[in-house]
A and B are shown apart, each in its own frame.
Chain A
């Protein structure tokens, strides 16, 4: 791949459980990606602001609090409003299957649930970015 993948990782909402996102950050970095981690309690606006500013290819968010049906759509709306819908939005967390399907229909590129290997996320992201850059 010609250009390094730039990815913003964020924790939206009030949830502070950051074990998963830090593991993902370390795995992405070890896989040669440029990772920017925003830290905790980011509002959808803060996340999209940072994504635009940092000119990233993708935004990954982690939600374990059950607020995913509010937060993912809010980030998508914010992206639309900022004309930034070309940035890939993906995520992970404790997200029931039916919600996962609904979110992927709304435009979230992919939802990873507990037990998914980091290797799977890396492969998926590489492929998705490659296709986007074509």
Chain B
């Protein structure tokens, strides 16, 4: 974009500038300037930082226009001028009835999207009365044992009118099946049902560790569901491929992006291998990223993500439809960056992180509550988090212009660097035999543990400052945050309810559909259809998972994944 004579002139002036700057640097500078991810950053970026000399194609190859390939500037032509991001706050606790009341309150307050958090027993495929569920029922989300619970959860909510996001992975098929059964009972045709499942099992092995079955049968559950949804539930987003948890587990920005994209491409390859057409399923894939504290590094991450994804979908996987090239993503601010000390400071952290997500072109956003390192979010804290998004949307002015940081020498250089480093990880993953091999050998897990330990060391040696934690500390600090407790009665009630459902349902139908699920799991056929049949007759989530555990076994992490080295 710049001529040779301009670049020569610039380089000469930079040499002079550097001589003068060096004098001040020696007197005053910190030893290192680096990002949250530990990446060293230059003090000044100029046209010399981006490789554009005489390259007229640079702009269209690397940056382009919004809504056009390679989508660095965003997936829509008009971005937030015509449609703001969706403010989607995650909620769910206690019994289905309590969460239903919360949902109705959110819808009454003008929300059109629901986002469901499930409790750990539901996520891990255990019913509420299982011995392993003791003390966990209704704690991190709502408990769902059978269709009866799903009926209560969505009671009085028209499933043709809302879009529902469900954060569930190992047992995602069961949750979606029960949701579809509720739609059936409401008389809502499946092609009108809208929503998103997280359903990203690969990142569970890498980061969040809520896995049940080994990777290969887990991938079959997912491709079977994708096949079913492509045919019958075309508006459903089948997987939300998640970097969020990878980042929370300690990854750097580059690791988050590289491992998430590698997971995404693994799903694409698995579905293609199962005989599905990339342009049929790819438009329903979406992504989910973290917004950590390093403002520009995060923005570069989102921009690089779109560009890399578009290129691979088009060139490597041969997708023809433009919609298959688009990376649409949800963003959530970084829970792991929030501090228990001086928790009100978290409001500021969340605001800056959310702003990076918006400047990075996110399609939806969850802002964390300031109190979540202390306990489950209180209503007040959750409201401030939502208000933060509204201030960004309506007061800051950043929505007026699409991708306003494009052309910043720093942001473009960082975006290019991020892309190159992601490519280097792709090569390493390939060399190690691919994503599944890397999971089974603990490669990703070790990389994350190393990064997490490095970050903690930086804080403890004070190479990195965290306000209120290792600097500006208030020793006599008293935390005045109200704490939300989940009543023990929730567990008692839920246990009694699942026992009652088991006693009242049609035992023959239960046995028949479970036997069929076992047959399909052992051999051929679509597991999702079998799970749908089970759900309809009130087979519990735990019973379905038990059958699959018996047939496929349970996954145990390899010892090589457990330590940093």
Q: Of the candidates B124, B133, B250, B373, which one forms a contact with A114 in the assembled complex, judged by CB atoms under 8 Å apart?
A: B373
Closest Cβ–Cβ distance, residue B422 to chain A (whole Å): 22
CA distance A114 to B337 in the complex (A): 11
A-B contact pairs, 14 of them (CB 8 A): A17-B248, A17-B249, A18-B249, A19-B449, A22-B563, A26-B563, A39-B557, A39-B559, A40-B557, A66-B140, A94-B374, A94-B375, A97-B479, A118-B456
- Assess whether B250 is in contact with A19, with CB atoms less than 8 Å apart: yes
Closest Cβ–Cβ distance, residue A31 to chain B (whole Å): 12
Residue of A nearest to B558 (CB): A39
Q: Of the candidates A14, A26, A117, which one forms a contact with B136 in the assembled complex, judged by CB atoms under 8 Å apart?
A: A14
- Assess whether A23 is in contact with B452, with CB atoms less than 8 Å apart: yes
CA distance A67 to B137 in the complex (A): 9
Q: Known contacts A22-B453, A26-B453: does B340 contact A114 (CB below 8 Å)? A: yes
CA distance A16 to B209 in the complex (A): 5
Does B303 touch A at the CB level, under 8 Å? no
What string of 1s and 0s marks CB contacts (under 8 Å) between A32-48 and chain B? Answer: 00000101110100000
Does B120 touch A at the CB level, under 8 Å? yes
Closest Cβ–Cβ distance, residue A27 to chain B (whole Å): 7
- Assess whether B135 is in contact with A71, with CB atoms less than 8 Å apart: yes
CA distance A117 to B341 in the complex (A): 12
Q: Which residues of B contact A118 (CB under 8 A)?
A: 456, 460
Residues 518 to 565 of chain B near chain A (Cβ within 8 Å): 556-557, 559, 562-565
CA distance A59 to B262 in the complex (A): 37
Q: Which residues of A contact B563 (CB under 8 A)?
A: 22, 25-26, 37
Closest 4 CB pairs of A and B: A70-B135, A16-B209, A67-B135, A14-B120
Residue of A nearest to B124 (CB): A14
Q: Which residues of A contact B564 (CB under 8 A)?
A: 22, 25-26
Does A119 touch B at the CB level, under 8 Å? yes
What string of 1s and 0s marks CB contacts (under 8 Å) between B497-515 and chain A? Answer: 0000000000000000000
Closest Cβ–Cβ distance, residue B28 to chain A (whole Å): 28
Q: Of the candidates A22, A39, A69, A70, which one forms a contact with B449 in the assembled complex, judged by CB atoms under 8 Å apart?
A: A22
CA distance A95 to B448 in the complex (A): 25
CA distance A109 to B250 in the complex (A): 28
Q: Of the candidates A15, A40, A67, A115, which one forms a contact with B469 in the assembled complex, judged by CB atoms under 8 Å apart?
A: A115
- Assess whether A22 is in contact with B460, with CB atoms less than 8 Å apart: no
A→B interface (CB under 8 Å):
13-19, 22-23, 25-27, 37, 39-41, 43, 65-67, 69-71, 74, 94, 96-98, 113-115, 117-119
Closest Cβ–Cβ distance, residue A73 to chain B (whole Å): 9
Q: Which residues of B contact A16 (CB under 8 A)?
A: 204, 208-211
Does B336 touch A at the CB level, under 8 Å? yes
Closest Cβ–Cβ distance, residue A70 to chain B (whole Å): 3
Q: Known contacts A94-B375, A115-B341: does B209 contact A18 (CB below 8 Å)? A: yes
CA distance A70 to B490 in the complex (A): 14
Beyond A26-B453, A65-B139, 14 additional contacts (C-beta under 8 Å) are: A13-B120, A17-B208, A17-B249, A22-B562, A23-B453, A27-B456, A39-B556, A66-B140, A66-B375, A69-B135, A94-B373, A114-B339, A115-B339, A115-B469
Q: Which residues of B contact A43 (CB under 8 A)?
A: 132
Q: Which residues of B contact A119 (CB under 8 A)?
A: 460
CA distance A65 to B141 in the complex (A): 10
Residue of B nearest to A116 (CB): B340
Q: Of the candidates B340, B470, B486, B562, which one forms a contact with A37 in the assembled complex, judged by CB atoms under 8 Å apart?
A: B562
Q: Which residues of A contact B469 (CB under 8 A)?
A: 115
Residues 315 to 345 of chain B near chain A (Cβ within 8 Å): 336, 339-341
Does B483 touch A at the CB level, under 8 Å? yes
Q: Which residues of A contact B459 (CB under 8 A)?
A: 117
Q: Which residues of A contact B208 (CB under 8 A)?
A: 16-17
Q: Which residues of A contact B248 (CB under 8 A)?
A: 17, 19
Q: Which residues of A contact B373 (CB under 8 A)?
A: 94, 114-115
CA distance A69 to B136 in the complex (A): 10
CA distance A97 to B480 in the complex (A): 11
> Which of B204, B376, B470, B563: most chain A CB closer than 10 A?
B563
Residues 172 to 221 of chain B near chain A (Cβ within 8 Å): 204, 208-211
Q: Which residues of B contact A39 (CB under 8 A)?
A: 556-557, 559, 562
CA distance A66 to B562 in the complex (A): 23
- Assess whether B456 is in contact with A40, with CB atoms less than 8 Å apart: no
Closest Cβ–Cβ distance, residue B117 to chain A (whole Å): 12
Closest Cβ–Cβ distance, residue B336 to chain A (whole Å): 7
CA distance A90 to B373 in the complex (A): 19
Q: Which residues of B contact A19 (CB under 8 A)?
A: 248-250, 336, 448-449, 452
Does B121 touch A at the CB level, under 8 Å? yes
CA distance A71 to B249 in the complex (A): 23
Q: Which residues of A contact B453 (CB under 8 A)?
A: 22-23, 26-27
- Assess whether A14 is in contact with B132, with CB atoms less than 8 Å apart: yes
Residue of A nearest to B132 (CB): A14
Q: Which residues of B contact A13 (CB under 8 A)?
A: 120, 135-136
Q: Which residues of B contact A114 (CB under 8 A)?
A: 339-340, 373
Closest Cβ–Cβ distance, residue A67 to chain B (whole Å): 4
